[in-house]
Structure 1
Amino acid sequence: MSRSRLFVSVLKKSFPSRFILARLTRVPGFRGLIDKMLFDGDHLIYLPKDNVVNMNVEIEPPESMVLPSQVVEHFIQKARYHWIMNFCICRESMKCQDYPRDLGCLFLGEAVLNINPAFGRRVSKEEALEHVRRCREAGLVHLIGRNKLDTVWLGTGPGEKLLTICNCCPCCCLWLVLPTLHESIGSKVKRMPGVEVRVGEGCTGCGKCTEVCFVNAITLEDGKAVIGDACRGCGRCAEACPVNAITVSFEPESVERAIETVDSLVDVE
């Protein structure tokens, strides 16, 4: 059953308290219950921003170059049903001042037919492609996969019929809770397969990258940035580095591997 405006209004007011819920996942008695209720079956992949992949290359990439956003575009083309939210629940809840609140999630799959029409609208493939393009231009990062939380707060399902494409900002995103969540749950949000983020010799240890890393994966050691295993490969650190010392690269087959993974999780046809 789709959710009411009142339900979503209450959710927005309680959204800042999500860190309390995240801390409870570290309590054995609560962890299994919260996982089952809100995260069961989840598998989400962060896609690095197109503009930071090989960003230190001076020439413009050829049109044939494989880019992370092609994962999103593949599923838009494949899907039968497309739904754009009128708002981003995260930015709306936090009253974001830096990124557009009206650039909400894109949902694909049959389960979108059960979403309350007060929250968004069905769109064409062309409109969906234009929406994600606008999101990228606004500086947002795509997160794609199966996300039980969306079936819960939207009152739709089943999960295998709803593909989530979030367009995340660094200041309000739900997944700022990742460092707080128990690893067994946090590990369901993953780096795109084949993506590597490296710190080069040019690093001056300014710490700008540590300020933008939403999972606290970057530390300064001996005056240099060190990227840990918690990195989800979003690429914001490379974008923030004033000396271009951080590079984001991925294997040519990374896009196909990500598509295969998502395909195994959700049926969008």
Structure 2
Amino acid sequence: MAPSKETIVIGGITVNVYSLPGATEPSAPVAVLFFLHGRTGKAGDCEWVAHSTLEWTDELRMSAGVQGQDLLVVTLDQRNHGDRTVDQRSNGGWRENPPARNDRHAVDMYAIFTGTSRDVSFLIDFLPSYLYPSGERTISQWLVGGISLGGHAAWYTLRHEPRVKLGIPVIGCPDYLGLMSDRAALNGIPFESPYIPQSFLTVVAQQDPATASYKAADSSNPFYGKKILVLSGADDKLVPWTASKEFVDNLNVGPEGAKEVIVAPGVGHKCTEDMVRAMSKFLWEQALGV
């Protein structure tokens, strides 16, 4: 049976909820995966990911011969993207020539994806009331994934949202200053004010995944106990694996967590079918089939 889509407006945010009808008992608990698109994109760009993930996790369900949990995939436009666009230029980068070049690229991009991450937390609060107003089902797991800008948001959500226990950043980066300092150098942009305001550095120091106690083996580490699949391209020039490697290598998720890393040879800055297949397998093994 093909996946279906329901569109709901929650507090002014349009969300698309994809499901595969009839997978388990209609009253059984369900897991929700927020999957977020990339910079200059829109929610519709992720429809193929939603469909493929639902279909492939269902194949794994049938192969395993167990019911597991149903999965819903939720997409939404990131802030200032798609139908939420207010200023197109704010989505641009440093590579464009003046006057189209966005000198505020570093600040704008961080504001957008951290804002979207906060939208995810907001939607976690309210989505159950819209989907199951009479308590028809219980949402037992909150999961997050995303591509590029959405991958950055996934990392940020894993740090800041304790209700999200599993995350799949695809060609995203947990170390914003590491990523942007290299990008600034490549584009001839000095890593200083006004391009990188000191007030902005203060915010990043307080909030970025890379500034958390990600190596600790206790509750001071917001990633401890979480399940994380990292998917990157070995030939990615826009979000190079080198910007994430030190963080990911040293990330401690503890004995109850899971960390899997796939750096795909010959793959640039793109989300491939193989990556989505790996994501589906991880979801089944770490969330749906357990």
- Determine if the TM-score, normalized by the shorter chain, exceeds 0.5: no
Q: TM-score, normalised by structure 1?
A: 0.29
Q: Which of 1 and 2 has higher RCO (CA within 8 Å, sep 6+)? A: 1
